Amino acid sequence: MNITVLAAGAWGTALALVFAGRHRVTLWAREADLLQDMARDRENKRFLPGFPFPEGLQLEADLPRAVSQAQLLLIATPIAGLRPSLEALRQLEVATPVLWVCKGFEAGTGKLPHEVFDEFLPGVSNGVLSGPSFAQEVAAGQPTAITLASRDVDFARATAQQLHGGHLRLYASCDLVGAEVGGAVKNILAIATGVCDGLHLGLNARAALITRGLAEIARLGVALGGHKETFMGLAGVGDLILTCTGDLSRNRQVGLGLAAGKSLERVLTDLGHVAEGVPTALEVHRLAGRMGVDMPITAAVVAVLQGRMQARAAVEQLLARDPRDEGC
């Protein structure tokens, strides 16, 4: 299959590497200097150093050329880049199936990725790749399992079958909303868990935070039309556990930095990468308020990100909440 990966950040590069073993893969990037460096080094030293490109991986700077022969497009931008990417594809009158890997609610509109997609390419087969996956481990060929979710279950199954192989396992799902909500909100919970760990509150506290965070994800996801069982799978609890506990998680690093007393601006500058949980937190908080969905951990994260509350005070506020029933 001819696959074109749009955007050469860490995750886009990792996907290009893993699929190049069994498919004809083109990696497109907007930045001319990045492409020149990758062509010279046969490696993405800027975003994913240490992983040489296989001989068959093609690099392309021209978008029309990059998509002209593709049988599948993978958009690997952050969610802020999804809208301009789709606008460019619409101008090219693309009808090729599209998958995206961004996770979040679009800043300003509060839309999930599939809602943005529907504005530009209605009728084109589409879906999301989501689940517990760090780019470095995927590129290294370490075992990874993720979900391919689409509203078209036949498309999800057929495409998952084509991409499945090697150390990357794909599971098809028809719950696009659930997979997107799980992928988005877990980043907020990873910030919270980073704060918890940065304050050295212990493993008991971390486990409680992750568990109650999963309840928040499920409440919002079901309210938006997702399936409750999705949040017990790879795109739900699987991604949540990885992002909350793995030190390769950018959002966890944000929480650790905030717990250390750094400003959000300083934390993001030091990080040098996009942490999707930061803009997503505000959108989710607004959405939960409009829908009447109780999300206290998300509210606490937003208060810390906006500088209205110190990290320790936010944790103390959560601990001071009235007791609740669980499973009664």
Q: Which of 45, 103, 111, 186 is catalytic?
A: 186
Cβ atoms of 311 and 195 within 8 Å: the answer is yes
Q: How far apart are CA 175 and CA 227, in angstroms?
A: 7
Angle between helices 250-259 and 277-291 (to 10 degrees): 90
Closest CA to 133 of 298, 282, 280, 11: 11
Residue 60 forms beta bridges with which residues? 28
In the chain, count of helices (H) and strands (E)? 15, 8
Q: How far apart are CA 29 and CA 176, in angstroms?
A: 27
Tokens 């490109």, located at residue: 53
Q: How far apart are CA 199 and CA 129, in angstroms?
A: 33
Tokens 């998300």, located at residue: 298
Q: How far apart are CA 309 and CA 295, in angstroms?
A: 17
Alpha carbon 49 to its chain's center: 20
Write the DSSP string, 222-238. HHTT--GGGGGSIIIII
Quick check: is 186 catalytic? yes
- CB-based contacts of 263: which residues, under 8 Å, 6+ apart? none
Closest CA to 115 of 107, 102, 106: 106
Q: How far apart are CA 247 and CA 134, in angstroms?
A: 10
Q: How far apart are CA 26 and CA 70, in angstroms?
A: 9
Write the DSSP string, 251-271. HHHHHHHHHTT--HHHHHHHH
What is the set of active-site residues?
186
